[in-house]
Amino acid sequence: MTPVVFDLDGTLIDSLGGIARAANALLAEQGLAAVPERQVAGYVGHGEHIFIDRLIADTALDAGDRAALLARFMTHYKAASRNTPLFPGVAEALARLKARGVALGLCTNKPGGPLAAVLDGLGWQSMFGAVVAGDTLARRKPDPAPLLHVFDRLGGRGVYVGDSPIDGATAQAAGVPFVLFTQGIRTVPVQDIAHDAAFDDFADLPGILDRLAG
């Protein structure tokens, strides 16, 4: 069975609302107005450093306080991560794949702190055979190193499932097929993201993986 590795934010978990709440809690603390969720979507994907830089660039947050602002944001982010909902059908799809003996992995740019809060909240401490967070290795997506590391730990290359152009570029750099979930934190059109297959309902994923495995 070919291993399957998943992205997390916008792929398995519907986390944009919680991430936006964390950003807006930071802004409120600084006496600043909230930013809309669709704007926050444009900050997500490259990890917490790019996130805070984009938030500072778009608001009156003081760039001179960057380190302290990032630390505060991470505190809000971790708190907001504890009750993150799954997208519909995710639990069933993962259970079906597991029942077939498919090795499952996770490769996300989400930092380890909020990631642990999400996994604990979902009772997913042993759902994946290998997990790499954004700050686990020296390099992060779209560098292929984290994804290749997860496949190595799972014992073989397989398919990457994600929601963003970063995920597509990572799969391409790693030389593995990419399956795009179209209902995630996507800010560019589906046709602008190179993919081998796309789906909008997790019930369809096991069949797609069967077809890709040929």
Ligand X SMILES: O=C(O)COP(=O)(O)O
Residue 47 site contact among Mg ion, ligand X, none (CB < 5 to 8 Å, cut-off depends on kind) = ligand X
Nearest to 146 by CA among 192, 196, 112: 112
152 carries an active-site annotation: no
Q: How far apart are CA 150 and CA 165, in angstroms?
A: 19
Establish whether 210 is an annotated binding residue.
no
**Following CA atoms 53, 56, 57, 58 in sequence, which dihedral angle do they give, to the nearest 10 degrees?**
130
> Among residues 4, 6, 9, 107, which is the contact residue for Mg ion, using CB under 5 A?
9
Residue 110 site contact among Mg ion, ligand X, none (CB < 5 to 8 Å, cut-off depends on kind) = ligand X
Half-sphere exposure at residue 166, Cβ-oriented, CA atoms within 13 angstroms: 27
Smallest gap from Cβ 43 to ligand X, in A, equals: 8
Q: How far apart are CA 160 and CA 152, in angstroms?
A: 13
Which residues form the interface with ligand X (CB under 6 A)? 7-10, 44-47, 108-110
How many chain residues touch Mg ion (CB under 5 A)?
Answer: 5
Residue 2 site contact among Mg ion, ligand X, none (CB < 5 to 8 Å, cut-off depends on kind) = none
Smallest gap from Cβ 65 to Mg ion, in A, equals: 28
Length of the chain: 214
Q: Could you give the residue numbers annotated as active site?
A: 7
